[in-house]
Amino acid sequence: MGERILDVQNLYTSFYTHLGEVQAIRGVSFHLDKGEALGIVGESGSGKSVTSMSVMKLLQHPGKIKSGKIMFKGEDIVPKSSKEMMSIRGDQIAMIFQDPMTSLNPVYTVGNQIMEAMIKHQGLSKSEARKKAVEMLKLVGIPSPEDRVDNYPHEFSGGMRQRAMIAIALSCQPDLLIADEPTTALDVTIQAQILELLKELKDKVNTAIILITHDLGVVADVCSRIVVMYGGLIMEQGSAEDIFYEPKHPYTMGLIKSIPRLDLNERQRLVPIPGTPPDLLNPPVGCPFASRCPYAMQICANEAPKYYDINPGHHAACWLLDPEAPKVEVDTGVKRGGADA
Amino acid sequence: MGRYVARRFVSMIITLWFVITITFFLMHSIPGGPFSREKALPEKVLEALNEKYHLNDPLWKQYTDYLQGVVVLDFGPSFSRPGIFVWDKIQEGFPISAKVGGIASLFVIIAGIPAGVISALYQNKLPDYIVTVIATVGVAVPSFVVATLFIYVFSEKLMLVPAYGLEEIKSYIGPTIALAGFSLSFVARLSRSSLLEVMQQDYIRTARAKGLSELSVIFKHAIKNSLIPVITYMGPTIASILTGSFVVERIFAIPGMGKLFVESVGNRDYTMIMGTTIFYAAFAIIMIFLVDIAYGIIDPRIKLGD
């Protein structure tokens, strides 16, 4: 285990709307070591993006971190002023976003937008920054970067724009890169390329990555550890192996069963998870997944489950793991050594 | 770029030709003639006048004659003021209107855009409310009310500025406010809503994620994008302000284009009406062209090449 880069402890984030407090994140804890890749998985509204925006401290009004600690390199950034955050953002923590088509400013050249962070954080001159920008474009695999550096975003394809976004994010060699659904808006072949690039750069730049996605297939490829979120809570957390081969939470099992697979019989359909995520304006008292869970018991609706350790680093919040609960065997169809999930 | 300008120039000429043609035939289809008066002129006099101004020629000949004249900036003689030529009157009136209008346009830009920006940055706070209220009043109250009120308060009661004419520098204040009022308010509202929309864009989030200060996020990344719709509005607006508002010029007794136009309509001065209409149209077309050029400069997505 290397140096601890990020340690989020019992984070609560809420949006104070005129309808009331929307409790988007309700006590989330996870950590990340230097050079590690962590996947945060969950469906829309599970709180995964709010988690990342909390770490960036870029929550839009009326969002607010209510309590908890975000230890970044041993220092809590929650109490930091916006000015202190400006010197961290883009320099030590960087982020790439879901939609590369709209994430670049249309009226400035790609090079200009890559140079900005380096000029601001590393005090480079314009010509030095430009040189570095060309290098960055080359690093992320843009052909003839010397010419492309002067292109405007609309002259780039979607995949190239996401590469440019990665170049911006990595320009100052951040310790932590947050990738919020970086491949969702791209077509499948480009998705694979971008993931490959992220994997490759993670080692080259030695940056830790948080990969946020709703697609388990995406994290399987890149991440060594996985956090499964639902209803503003972490449902299950563990190594990628644990999550895929030994899922303990019915929600994780449901997610795995809903991935399209090549090794399934044609007759077997994908199994969706019925129902919709809970309303976080009035979050349920018990387990948020209880109303959709096929194994729900009386206690699930009345009391939130605690985390049960399955093995070191692998834990899940589910009453089924209680020694007194009935034993449930679920076959997700994913076998160790079988076809790749 | 050169090819684009050339192509636009041709289309501008065609647009102008449409304007001339439509104006010409509209004017000639109005019942009565330029010399119809309440007290009818003697038959002989009318005949002589029609002869003198070639009104007895077939319509197509009058039309081609007129077109030929327009090409060399000859808009013919005034029908109601003997010995006076339309182009001379335009040359006389336009600089006066343009001077007042120029000041008003400048006022619209340097006050309207910052007002909108401040308003957006302080959304739902006191400065925003002040700007929004003033801008709403500015859009709702017509210029003649503003002008009349201004004269009543500052000339009549306080006696700070002259009530008419443009003899002193002070005299420009009233017409500028009355002329700019509506557009200024509109520009302020437009810049406000446009900036608010831009601030919600993903690339603003990207800029913030780079650790840029809020000032450079706003001034580098947001404002340039938010000005695009404002420029669209500015072109025709400046054209209309520069060529004068007949109401404002009338109230402040400014001898500009607007006053000329109103008087020519009142006098059924056909050539003068056509002349001023065509002049205004040409001016508006040129302003729109300039706006398109400005677009190309500010927004790289717009290509003026092919």
Instruction: Please report residues of A whose CB lies closer than 8 A to that of B225.
Output: 105-107
Structural domain includes residue A126: yes
Asked which of A223, A240, A273 is the last residue of a domain, the reply is A223
How many Cα atoms sit within 13 Å of B253 on the Cβ side? 8
B112-155 per-position pLDDT tens digit: 999 999 999 999 999 999 999 999 999 999 888 999 999 999 98
Interface predicted TM-score of the whole assembly (ipTM), two decimals: 0.87
Domain count, chain A: 2
Structural domain includes residue A326: no
Assess whether A137 and A191 both reside in one domain: yes
Answer whether B210 sits within 8 Å of A105, measured CB to CB: no
- Residue B181 C-alpha from the chain's centroid: 13
Burial label, A2 (beta-carbon count in 10 A; 0-12, 13-18, 19+): exposed
Assess whether A57 and A190 both reside in one domain: yes
Closest by CA position to A25, among listed A230, A233, A180: A233
pLDDT in tens, chain A (341 residues): 578 999 999 999 999 999 999 999 999 999 999 989 999 998 888 899 999 999 999 998 899 999 999 999 999 999 999 999 999 999 999 999 988 889 999 999 999 999 999 999 999 999 999 999 999 999 999 999 999 999 999 999 999 999 999 999 999 999 999 999 998 888 888 888 899 999 988 888 889 999 999 888 888 888 999 999 999 999 999 999 999 999 999 999 988 888 777 776 666 777 788 888 888 888 888 999 998 988 888 899 999 999 999 999 899 999 999 888 887 777 777 766 544 43
Instruction: Please report residues of A whose CB lies closer than 8 A to that of B196.
Output: none
Answer whether B210 sits within 8 Å of A106, measured CB to CB: no
Structural domain includes residue A341: no
Answer whether A152 sits within 8 Å of B300, measured CB to CB: yes
Burial label, B214 (beta-carbon count in 10 A; 0-12, 13-18, 19+): middle
Could you say which DSSP state residue A205 is in?
I
Work out the minimum CA distance from B222 to partner chain A, whole angstroms. Answer: 9
Work out the minimum CA distance from A61 to partner chain B, whole angstroms. Answer: 11
Structural domain includes residue A264: yes
Instruction: Please report residues of B whose CB lies closer than 8 A to that of A106.
Output: 203, 225, 299-301
Gap between the Cα atoms of A293 and A284, Å rounded: 14
Torsion of CA B252, B257, B263, B265, to 10 degrees: -140
Sheet with A20-33, edge to edge strand ranges: A20-33, A4-17, A63-72, A75-76
Assess whether A258 and A141 both reside in one domain: no
What is the residue range of A140's domain? 4-223
B234-267 per-position pLDDT tens digit: 888 888 888 767 788 888 888 888 888 888 888 8
Assess whether A188 and A84 both reside in one domain: yes
Answer whether B202 sits within 8 Å of A102, measured CB to CB: yes
Assess whether A259 and A198 both reside in one domain: no
Please state which of the four CATH numbers 3.40.50.150, 2.40.37.10, 1.10.3720.10, 1.10.287.110 is assigned to the domain occupying B93-267. 1.10.3720.10
Question: At residue A233, what is the residue type?
Answer: L
Contacts of A235 (CB under 8 A, 6+ apart): A228, A229, A249, A251, A252, A289, A316, A317, A318
Structural domain includes residue A334: no
Work out the minimum CA distance from A152 to partner chain B, whole angstroms. Answer: 7
Per-residue model confidence (pLDDT) at position B306: 52
- Residue A290 C-alpha from the chain's centroid: 24
Structural domain includes residue A170: yes
Assess whether A152 and A212 both reside in one domain: yes
Instruction: Please report residues of A whose CB lies closer than 8 A to that of B213.
Output: 86
Assess whether A153 and A238 both reside in one domain: no
Could you say which DSSP state residue A18 is in?
T
Whole-prediction pTM: 0.82
Structural domain includes residue A163: yes
Structural domain includes residue A34: yes
Which of A94, A99, A121 lies at the smallest CB-CB distance from B209?
Answer: A94
Which of A87, A107, A109 lies at the smallest CB-CB distance from B211?
Answer: A87
The answer to whether residue B199 scores a pLDDT higher than 50 is: yes
Question: A237 near A314, Cβ under 8 Å?
Answer: yes
Assess whether A124 and A142 both reside in one domain: yes
Assess whether A198 and A237 both reside in one domain: no
Tokens of B25: 């035939």
Nearest residue of A to residue B206, measured between CA atoms:
A103
Instruction: Please report residues of B whose CB lies closer than 8 A to that of A94.
Output: 209-210
Q: Which CATH number fits the domain that encloses residue A33?
A: 3.40.50.300
Which of A99, A107, A168 lies at the smallest CB-CB distance from B210?
Answer: A168
Answer whether A117 sits within 8 Å of B207, measured CB to CB: no
Gap between the Cα atoms of B209 and A171, Å rounded: 13
Beta bridge partners of B158: none
Per-residue model confidence (pLDDT) at position A28: 94
Assess whether A51 and A172 both reside in one domain: yes
Chain A residues within 8 angstroms (CB to CB) of chain B: 56, 58, 82, 85-91, 94-95, 97, 99, 102-109, 113, 116-117, 120-121, 152, 154, 165, 168-169
Q: Is A129 helix (H, G, I), strand (E, B) or coil?
A: helix
How many contacts (CB atoms, under 8 Å) link A and B? 74
Tokens of B238: 């400046």
Assess whether A240 and A287 both reside in one domain: yes
Tokens of B281: 């149209």
Assess whether A106 and A161 both reside in one domain: yes
Instruction: Please report residues of A whose CB lies closer than 8 A to that of B207.
Output: 105, 116
Which of A90, A106, A107 lies at the smallest CB-CB distance from B210?
Answer: A90
Max Cα-Cα span within chain B: 85
Nearest residue of A to residue B203, measured between CA atoms:
A103
Answer whether B209 sits within 8 Å of A85, measured CB to CB: no
Q: Where are the domains of chain B?
A: 93-267
Asked which of A204, A223, A242 is the last residue of a domain, the reply is A223
Answer whether A88 sits within 8 Å of B211, measured CB to CB: yes
